Structure 1
Amino acid sequence: MASSGPDPAERERRRKAAELLGDLLPSTTTDETDEGWNEPGGTSRDEEYLRDVPPHHG
């Protein structure tokens, strides 16, 4: 007979872990949203590099 899922001890361990740790993975990541993509006033790594150019590269 095949088991239909984890045994009761494993289920309890997972329940306690979920209670302590909460939801570790967000429902959507920042890569899946428009946040930070070419927004005015936002900073990007390109802007940081352009600002931090040494004077002799001017």
Structure 2
Amino acid sequence: MTSDSHAPVPGPDDQGREPASAEAIRRKAAEAARLARIFGDVLPETTGDERGEGSGGAGGDEWLRSQVPPHHG
């Protein structure tokens, strides 16, 4: 029977934070779920560029022209 006095001990990470416990992770997930139920997704996980949504082009110009009041010709 040997004692391993050189075994790594959990400690702060590279940014000085202590490792998260399972309870802290569970609480954070529960809080995120509660906020999602109340407010919905505030920000999407991906951007329009990542999803391939166009940001204008000819469609944007067409929309802009359709918004001009008749008296502005």
- For Structure 1 versus Structure 2, the TM-score category normalised by the shorter chain is 0.3 to 0.5
Structure number, greater radius of gyration: 2
